[in-house]
Amino acid sequence: MDRYVCQICGYIYDPAAGDPDNGVAAGTKFEDVSDDWECPVCGASKEDFEKEA
Amino acid sequence: MKPVEISEKIYDVGVIDWNIRDFHGYSTELGTSYNAFLIMDEKVVLIDSVKKDFSDELLRNISRIVDPGKIDMVVSNHTEMDHSGGLPRVMHRIGEGKPVYCSAMGLKNLQKHFAHNLNYQPVKNGETLSIGKRTLTFLETKMLHWPDSMFTYLNEDKILFSSDAFGQHYAGCEAFDDQVDEHLIMLHAKKYFANILLLYAPLILKLVEKVVDMGLEIKMICPDHGILWRKNPNKIIEAYVRWSKQEPEKKAVIIYDTMWHSTQLMAEAIAEGIHEKGVYVKPMKLRDSHRSDVMTEVLDSKAVVVGSPTLNNGLFPTLADFLTYMKGLRPKNKIGAAFGSYGWSGEAVGLIHQQLEGMKFKMIDSGLKHQYVPDSQGLEMCREMGKKIGQAVLDS
């Protein structure tokens, strides 16, 4: 599963870990994360993320 | 300084740092201030603290209005130590059990700054708190400019306590925008934006939209540095929108360093060419101009022309410093060009070109190199390059 990087603050969304503090279970693919989810560090929206190179 | 009553029963109790000239690598030639605010309502509220070394001065300022022990609560809009460093000392004086309101990220970050745990009360975006006749509304402003940043809005007085946003590093006895030279203060607000906030420009645009949608009426903006905006708070908001959009002006900046003046000769000939096209241009030598002043010029320049001699098969060190700094601030919509003199290997121009391309600058050509001292033909080539840059700026 691909990791995605926040283009604003550099936070990396790792699907293996998810974002349990904000209701995203471990093992959730980035594509399956809800559209209104925000970067837990800086509040950027999902569209501000790019696939890790 | 004596506290200033900025609105009925609301005081600026902050301190002035007259002598600071280097603020974590940003040149503060006018000094700065760490503003903190005291609201005297049924509850007494302190908004923000100051840099650690100024804690006693803050407490003395508060004492001129009220016994600090009477403060009921503190709001920490931002964890950075120029606004939170005084917190442990202040809390020790006013009572360590008193609540400290902060954002959710503020809670995490304050705990990583101070070993002693305080009574942190994290608040959510939009949450309100009654302090008697008045109400505070907390607005999360993540990455403006740290993850913990928030604004506090005083509903009845329509005052926005905006933390670092809309600030300027300016030390002066004046408190308000209508008491100072407007051009000077806007220049320092611009410098602050260019050096601290530029990389978050997309978030700033979203945030301003959010505030407009909420229909918040703002009579006064109180940042944590410099003067307060009361004459026309919209002026600074509009400037932030303009700077965030990154639509540069038709001007150019030439950023260079030089060893035996050859790269300098090239820089000045390029400037002549740009000027011939009627485009404003400013050559800046990095050992004589501070990186933060150069970055201020970059903010609204369409063309960013960068020159370096080749030293030890690489870039001159001040260029490596500046290019790293500029890359981190992520300027957009620029035209770029590289130049430099060299002795025998000449790698610097290629390295600059590569780095500017990496920042998505639209490069004018592959760069201009000259071996040793440019002669009249060499200088003519520089003038031609300048004209090409000037024309590209005009066509943009």
- ipTM of the predicted structure? 0.78
- Amino acid letter, residue B21: R
Does residue B96 carry a catalytic annotation?
no
Active site residue B164: yes
Q: How many CB pairs under 8 A join A and B?
A: 21
| Residue B215 in this model has a pLDDT that exceeds 90 | no
Q: What is the pLDDT of residues B20-72, one digit of tens each?
A: 999 999 999 999 999 999 999 999 999 999 999 999 999 999 999 999 999 99
pLDDT digits (tens, 9 = 90+) for B118-145: 999 999 999 999 999 999 999 999 888 9
Q: Are B322 and B355 in contact (CB under 8 A)?
A: no
Query: Tens digits of per-residue pLDDT, B225-283?
Result: 999 999 999 999 999 999 999 999 999 999 999 999 999 999 999 999 999 999 999 99
Q: String of b and e for B118-138 (b: at least 16 CB within 10 Å)?
A: beebbbeeeeebebeebebbb
B214 vs B219: CA distance, rounded Å:
15
Of all residues in chain B, what percent carry a pLDDT higher than 70? 100
Backbone angles phi, psi at B207, to 5 degrees: -65, -45
pLDDT tens digits, B332-344: 999 999 999 999 9
Buried b / exposed e along B336-352 (16+ C-beta atoms within 10 A): bbbbbbbeeebbbbebb
Q: For the domain B4-244, what is the CATH code?
A: 3.60.15.10
List strands edge to edge, sheet with B150-154. B128-130, B135-140, B150-154, B159-163, B220-223
Q: Say yes or no to pLDDT of A43 above 90.
A: no
**Nearest CA distance, B92 vs chain A (angstrom):** 30
Look at residue B207 in the predicted model and tell me its pLDDT.
86
Within 13 Å, how many C-alpha atoms sit on residue B258's CB side? 22
DSSP-assigned states of every residue in B117-172: --EEEEE-TT-EEE-SS-EEEEEE-TTSSSTT-EEEEETTTTEEEEETTT------
Domain locations in chain B as residue ranges: 4-244, 251-395
Class of domain B251-395: alpha beta
How many other CB atoms are there within 10 angstroms of residue B194's CB atom?
21
The reply to whether A9 touches chain B by the CB within 8 Å rule is yes
The count of residues in chain B is: 396
pTM of model > 0.90: yes
Q: What is the pLDDT of residue B381?
A: 98
Q: What is the pLDDT of residue A47?
A: 87
Catalytic residue among B11, B170, B192, B240: B192
**Res. B299: pLDDT tops 90:** yes
